[in-house]
Amino acid sequence: MGQRAQAAGGCLIAAVGAGAGLALWCVGAQGRIRRFEQGPDWSVLYAELPLAVLGGTALALGLWALAHRIRSRR
């Protein structure tokens, strides 16, 4: 596999990981933002959302790097 294909694969994996983190964060976000008889909790947007997206990206890239390392040893 060429360097350009590896770079494109890494970028694609990063985008997929960010999307997966965002999708996972969206599950139940409405309930976390609006709480019963309380004001909205905006920390869900500025704390949890970036962490979910960055965590999904980091996890996907880590798995991609591990698979690439295992594949290159063969």
Of 10-19, 44-53, 64-73, highest mean pLDDT: 10-19
At residue 28, does pLDDT exceed 90?
no
pLDDT tens string 34-51: 766 677 777 778 888 899
The encoded tokens of residue 43 equal 């920390």
Check if the beta carbon of residue 69 is closer than 8 Å to that of residue 25: no
Residue 33 Rama label (left phi>0; alpha psi -120 to 50; beta): alpha
Q: How far apart are CA 32 and CA 38, in angstroms?
A: 11
Computed over its alpha carbons, how large is the radius of gyration of the chain?
Answer: 17
Which of these, 49, 57, 54, lies nearest to 10 by C-alpha position? 57
